[in-house]
Amino acid sequence: MILAAGRGERMRPLTDAMPKPLLKVAGKMLIEYHLDNIKAAGITEVIINHAWLGEKIEKALGDGSRYGLNIRYSAETEALETAGGIVNALPIISDDVFIVINGDVFCDYDLSTLPSSLAGLAHLVLVNNPSHNPDGDFVLTTSGRVEQSGENKLTFSGIGVYHSDLFAGLQNAKQALAPLLRTAMEQHQVTGELYQGIWHDIGTPERLSELDVYLKNNG
């Protein structure tokens, strides 16, 4: 599942008439990099949620056939945030264990290396802290568990594997993912890994421009 429902407030005015996942870097839509990575990993079934200008996402990507994928859409009348978007899409997610990717990150992580089964409720890909998140989010222990407090915190990449039980009993409403993860961490139900490859959080026009320059110089 690709999360693509956000309004992209920090990206305005670029997102006033264009949903953030359709913004282009190095001549290619941000979301297309995800689709290419998904296809390369041997995955064919993709769900994309949307709210703000969602019809443009559906028009741009269609049924996914030109990417070698089968894309289905989970429409939201208003953005339901991360957990809310996943809960809303659960009826069309066919597997108990599934990958979720934030639509506004760029990463060359090999999705085929993610675990197909979980020793708990979630598995998170963490990265070294960027300048805009110097304090990090979570701690990765030497045993591969992810905890919410401690020294040497890392940043959550926006790439994770989740079990549907993580969302059991939740109402179909606006809600964030982080509180669910923290509760699961308290129960030692979250594993993780550190990825040290290319990763960018495209949260501002400046970061979008920086990624554009990087890809053009390193393509």
Whether the Cβ atoms of residue 85 and residue 162 lie closer than 8 Å to each other = no
Kind of pairing between the strands at 139-140 and 146-147 = antiparallel
At residue 8 the predicted structure's pLDDT band, cuts being 50, 70 and 90, is low
Kind of pairing between the strands at 45-50 and 70-75 = parallel
Tokens of residue 179, six digits? 């509180």
pLDDT single digits (tens) 40-70: 999 999 999 999 888 999 999 999 999 999 9
The DSSP output letter for 203 is: -
pLDDT single digits (tens) 94-121: 899 999 999 989 999 999 999 999 999 9
Beta strand ranges found along 35-95 (DSSP E): 45-50, 70-75
Percent of the chain with pLDDT over 90: 75
| Number of C-beta neighbours around residue 23 at 10 A | 19
Q: The domain spanning residue 66 has which CATH number?
A: 3.90.550.10
Domain tally, the chain: 1
What range defines the domain where residue 134 resides?
2-218
pLDDT single digits (tens) 117-173: 999 999 999 999 999 899 999 999 999 999 998 889 999 999 999 999 999 989 888
Distances (CA, A) of 96 to 90, 110, 117, 165, 170: 9, 21, 9, 8, 16
pLDDT of residue 156: 97
Q: Is the per-residue pLDDT at 74 higher than 80?
A: yes
Tokens of residue 160, six digits? 């994770």
Over residues 191-211, mean pLDDT: 92
